[in-house]
Structures are given as structure tokens and as C-alpha cells.
Chains A and B, each alone.
Chain A
């Protein structure tokens, strides 16, 4: 998101925002969007909340508007969905994830308890 801090907070080459602050018209647009929508610091919190409950329509529109000038928040939202998708698949990939296994003693205890049922 561009602001009057643009000079001290340059945009890297991988900025893919639909509207970038090049030229006075686009600068004005970005400035207007940044004034009309929450700041990125709040957007990430709101995006997380959106994963758990529905947001009011106005807020959803503000987020869409924000994304036009801020590819970072839009990426953040996509990545929240990616984490949800992969976390849900984790249980079937537990073996691949590695980590400690049952100790021989625990295995022995388990079999003993189960066979005495």
C-alpha cells in the first residue's frame, strides 16, 4: 500500500498490485484507497477473523478495494487458505512428516494392555 511514506518504504520488483503509485493519477487512487480501507496491520487480523466467521458486506468490499493497491494483503489471504487446506491434509501425511516413534517399551505396554481386554 502506498502512502506518504512511499519513499522510505519502496516497493520491491515483485509488487503485483493492480494499481501501483506511478504517476499522479494512480498515486491519488492509491492514496484514496489507503484512506478508505483499514491499514495492512489491521487487514491481516480481519482476514484471519474471516476464516472463522462471516464479515459484514461493507468490510468485505473494503478488503476487495484494499487488495487493488496491496498485493501483500491479497497474498496473505491466499496463504491463509493454503495453510487451512494443507493443515487439513496433515493427518494423512503424518508418516511423511516424520518425528519420534513409539519406544519399544511403549509398544510392549500397548500390546499387553490391548491383549488383556
Chain B
């Protein structure tokens, strides 16, 4: 096995806001080895859905746990350890995209083409037989089904990358539109087009693969 070298695995150095508070535990219980064993896979999976690259996801998990070590003394138990760590990871993901937005163009012009034109007649109305179907069961029920979350991940993975990035910042992290625009250096109208494309494609994928699938 390759001998680890901390310098090789150093994460991108970006400023992070104060992590959210977490349960007070003694040092033995907050042992980083246990964090890796109990939460490492979950944090990594979440990071991977967000950034799609294993090495970046691993860096983000490492950075998250390093920040957790630094701030564990300040914690006051209000949430579970998992949600505290996930909260830190979300900050790290925002920092990552902020840095990426400064370095690369985030406007995904290629994905702005109107792929869904076959859903509408030339006059602009739905092709009625291809219009949205009623979704059953309702969202309140599906959240208890593991298969739903697998389908959701599959559909998010299928979205074009930049479009998926902005969609998840907006809908998973609940970042306001204006903040996403300044974070990624894109215009508000471009953001709206990208979000529209993401929602259209995700809706279609969820309908085909979950809500309206052949039972």
C-alpha cells in the first residue's frame, strides 16, 4: 500500500464559515477514526453526488473532518453527529464551487439547447399524451423508500454536470439565486435557464423511472 503523505492529500485551501454546532462529546468518542468508520462512506457518497470526482470528494471529506477536529471543542449538542458533519461538508462544497466559479466558466451553453421540444406542439402547448402525469404515490410517501433515493441519485447523476451543480446548490443547499450567481460568476438569467433545464430533465427522469414506471 502506498505510504500516505499528508502533503499529497491536502485539500484546496479556501475560507470556510464557522461550522454549525454539534453534540458535545468527550474526546474519546469524537475520535477521528470512528468518524471515518461511522460517517466516512455517507459523507463521501454525498460529496460524490455533488462533485462527481472521487479524488475531489475524498478531499472534501478530509477537509470536513479536519474542520470537525478543529471545532469539536466548541460544540453544543443540538443535532446528531451525522448532520453536524454533513453541515460542515455543505460549507466545504460551497467553498469548492466558489473557487471553481472563479477559475472556470460555469455557464453551460451546450446544455441550454431545447431538448424537450418534442413535448410540445409547434403552437407551444403540451403534446397532451406526453404531458406530465399525476405522481403517485405522493412525495410524503416516497421519502420512506430506499429505491426512491436510488432513483433520485441516478437521475441527478444523469444531469449535465454544470446544470446539476447549480440545481443542487439551489435545491439541496437552499442557496439563494443571487448568491449562486455571485458564487459562480454567472448572470441571473443564465442561472434561471440552467435551473429550468435541470428541473425539466429531473422531472422527466423521475417520472419515467419512479412515479410512472411499469409496476
Whether A110 pairs with B127 at a CB distance below 8 angstroms is: no
A87: CB under 8 A from chain B?
A: yes
A103 neighbours in B (Cβ, 8 Å): 54
Residues of A within 8 A of B (CB): 1, 3, 5, 8-12, 14-16, 34, 39-42, 44-45, 48-49, 51-53, 70-73, 75-76, 78-80, 82-103, 105-117
Given contacts A1-B126, A95-B42, 6 further A-B contacts (CB under 8 A): A72-B126, A75-B133, A76-B132, A98-B146, A102-B61, A113-B9
CB distance from A77 to the nearest CB of B (A): 9
- The interface on chain B, measured as residues whose beta carbon lies within 8 A of the other chain's beta carbons, has a size of 69
Interface of B is mostly: helix
Taking CB atoms, residues of chain A closer than 8 Å to B24 are: none
Shortest distance in angstroms between B152's beta carbon and chain A's nearest beta carbon?
6
Task: Describe A's contact surface by its main secondary structure.
Answer: helix
Across the interface, which residues of B come within 8 angstroms of A51, CB to CB?
195, 199
Give A73 to B203 CA distance when docked, in angstroms: 13
Residues in A neighbouring B86, C-beta threshold 8 A:
91-92
Quote the shortest CB–CB distance from A87 to chain B (angstroms).
Answer: 4
Contact A115 B32 (CB under 8 A): yes
Instruction: Indicate if the CB atoms of A9 and B127 lie closer than 8 Å.
Output: yes
Asked whether, in the complex, the Cβ of A39 is within 8 Å of the Cβ of B4, the reply is no
Q: Which of B180-214 contact A (CB under 8 A)?
A: 191-192, 195-196, 199-200, 202-203, 206-207
In the complex, what residues of A have CB within 8 A of residue B124's CB? 39-42
B6-29 vs A, CB cutoff 8 Å, 1 = contact: the mask equals 100100000000000000000000
**Nearest-CB distance from A109 to chain B (Å)?**
5
User: Closest residue of chain A to B35, judged by CB?
Assistant: A114
Report how far A66 CA is from B139 CA in the complex, Å: 25
Chain A residues, CB < 8 A from B133: 14, 75
Residue of A nearest to B90 (CB): A91
Structural contact, B171 and A83, CB atoms closer than 8 A: yes
Q: What B residues does A94 contact at CB under 8 A?
A: 42, 45-46, 49, 149
Nearest CB in chain A: distance from B200 CB, A: 7
Q: Is the CB of A113 within 8 A of B4?
A: yes
6 A-B Cβ contacts within 8 A? A10-B128, A16-B134, A40-B120, A72-B132, A107-B40, A111-B33
Quote the shortest CB–CB distance from A82 to chain B (angstroms).
4
Check B45–A110 contact: CB distance below 8 A. no
